[in-house]
Amino acid sequence: MSIESQKFLAVLCYICSEANINEINEELLTYIKDEVGLKKLGEHNLRSQLFTNIGFLQPIPSSDKFYVNELFLDYLDGNFSDNVFNVFKLRDLEWYSELEELKNHINEIQFDEEVSIGKLLSNLYLSKYRIKNNNKYLIQAFFCDPDLDKLIKIFTASPGTEILNQFNLMDKVEMNLKNIKEKANQERILNIIINSLIEINKRILNKELNKIRQRDLLGYYTQLENKIPILKRGIVNIKIKKSACSLLNNLKEYEKVEFLATNEPKLRHELFISYLKQVGDLSGNNKEECMRKIDKCNQIIKQNPKDIPNHLIGQFKLYCSRFYKKENPHEALKLLNNYEQYYISNKNINATIFYLESLLVRMECLISTKSDIVKIESLRDRFKKISLESQYQQIFKTKRDKMDQQFNKLIKDVDEYKKTSAYV
């Protein structure tokens, strides 16, 4: 063997002997190379195959592990020949202090009991993670000895969309994620991931992300249901159910919301939002189903009025007005009577959009019911005034353009109405 190969063999012999290691694998060889800085010896001198050929390592069938030949250890430990680079000559090398430090660290890990090679490596990488604060060491520790605690650490340390790239790690602990005895850890993972999906969804809606779409998030949620079955079965704590319903309402997965929220008094708010959004979606195309959802909303408001905040009541009335404006414009006007209260009490972008839409609906209904032109023009002027304010420009352009088109059409209808009405 070349002198460089002998040096690495001496290192392996020293580590195995002093730290009582009788099994090693490729990962441990790599760790020693990197930690002690031995790559200068030449990669070809550090390969496991070389030490297998001379009998120092004996492959374990169907494994990446090797037994260490104890007779070989004894031979090298006691060989003082000048022709062999033995362990005693290691003291003269520049990296001997790093080797000693690694040996001592391994002995600390194995102080109470001898651990498996996977657990040993995992603890070594965890130590590096604590020092370097680099997530790659945490992931390496997980691969060496997968468990839910390390997976939770990885998910907690994964910023933003990075958590989506870690989904496949759950496959390494598949049995743990399906074992009901691990429910507490399973719920910790669900809580972390679902809240991350909610934050990612907010960034999608705010146009901060364009490579990920909402339907992609639904795919990740479906994966989560399959990987952690307690979510799909709905046997999770109320905090997770609440977060899941919030996400699913944004993804328009209303059946899943109803499954999680029905018969949960603390989730009436989320259930109401689900029915409310469906009223908004169905108002123009499915009258029977829309009416059923309106009834569901009214039932929740009637039975538990304190559970539904005022701004959602306003949103519900607006969506109902969409449903009634064609066939029953008087009912739509009744619903939107004094709608200003919802705008004034909650003046944000969404409230502005809803209020502007309420003006458009009222204008349309007043024209169709041949009402006083003065009332129609008052609503027109209010819309014009708000459209000149800076907040109006903060509305997404597609939504703003749609409202502008509706308004301009109504202006023409108003002009036509003035010509044909008795108020000219």
Q: What is the CA radius of gyration of the chain?
A: 34
- Over the stretch 360-392, which tens digit does the pLDDT of each residue have? 999 999 999 999 899 999 999 999 999 998 888
Whether pLDDT at 238 is above 90: yes
Residues 182-193 as b or e (16 or more Cβ within 10 Å = b): beebbbbbbbbb
How high is the pLDDT of residue 423? 46
Contact between 354 and 318 under an 8 Å Cβ cutoff? The reply is: yes
pLDDT of residue 114: 73
Whole-number pLDDT of residue 81: 63
Where is the domain boundary, 114, 129, 163? 114
Is residue 13 scored above 50 in pLDDT?
A: yes
Residues 86 and 10 in one domain: yes
Decide which of 73 and 151 is more confident: 151
Does residue 210 register a pLDDT over 90? no
In terms of domains, do 157 and 94 share one?
no
Are both 257 and 150 inside the same structural domain?
A: yes
| Lowest model confidence (mean pLDDT) among 6-20, 160-174, 337-351, 366-380 | 337-351
pLDDT value of position 424: 44
Given the DSSP bridges, would you call strands 23-25 and 65-68 parallel, antiparallel or unpaired?
Answer: antiparallel
Let me know if residue 276 belongs to a domain: no
Indicate whether 154 and 244 sit together in one domain.
Answer: yes
Residue 12's Cβ-side half-sphere holds a number of Cα atoms within 13 Å equal to 32
Domain count for the chain: 3
Same domain, 222 and 153: yes
Question: Look-up: residue for tokens 């944004």?
Answer: 250
Residue scoring higher pLDDT (151 or 133):
151
- What domain range includes position 392? 335-424
Asked whether residue 302 is domain-assigned, the answer is no
65 found inside a domain: yes
pLDDT score recorded for residue 364 = 94
pLDDT digits (tens, 9 = 90+) for 156-205: 999 889 999 999 999 999 999 999 999 999 999 999 999 999 999 999 98
Using the predicted structure, report yes or no on whether residue 45 has a pLDDT greater than 90.
no
Give mean pLDDT, residues 14-27.
89
CA distance 13 to 31: 15
Residues 47 and 154 in one domain: no
SS3 state of residue 274: helix
Q: What sign for the dihedral angle of Cα 39, 44, 46, 48? A: positive
pLDDT of residue 422: 54
Q: Which of 262, 177, 182, 271 lies closest to 228 in space, CA to CA? A: 177
Residue 80 in this model has a pLDDT that exceeds 60: no
Number of H helices, E strands in the chain: 24, 3
User: How does the average pLDDT of the chain come out, rounded?
Assistant: 90
Mean pLDDT within 408-423: 82
Same domain (yes/no): 255, 152: yes
Q: Name the 3-class secondary structure at 221.
A: helix
Angle between helices 183-205 and 214-227 (to 10 degrees): 180
Q: Are 152 and 253 in a shared domain?
A: yes
Q: Give the domain-ending residue among 215, 233, 261.
A: 261
Amino acid 82: pLDDT: 67
Same domain, 191 and 94: no
> Same domain for 153 and 46?
no
Question: CA 208, CA 204: separation in Å to the nearest integer?
Answer: 6
Determine the average pLDDT of the residues in 34-55. Answer: 86
Q: Tell whether 310 is covered by a domain.
A: no
How far apart CA 180 and CA 75 sit, in angstroms, is 51
The answer to whether residues 382 and 348 touch, using CB atoms and an 8 Å cutoff, is no
- Beta bridge pairs of residue 59: 66
3-state secondary structure of 188: helix
Same domain, 91 and 161: no
The share of the chain scoring above pLDDT 70, in percent, equals 96
CA–CA gap between residue 239 and residue 229 (Å, rounded): 17
Greater confidence (78 vs 86) lies with 86
Q: Which residues of 140-164 are buried (b: 16+ CB within 10 A; e: fewer)?
A: bbbebbbbbebbbbbbebbeeeebb
The 10s digit of each residue's pLDDT in 186-200 is: 999 999 999 999 999
- Kindly report the length of the chain: 424
| 99, 176: one domain | no
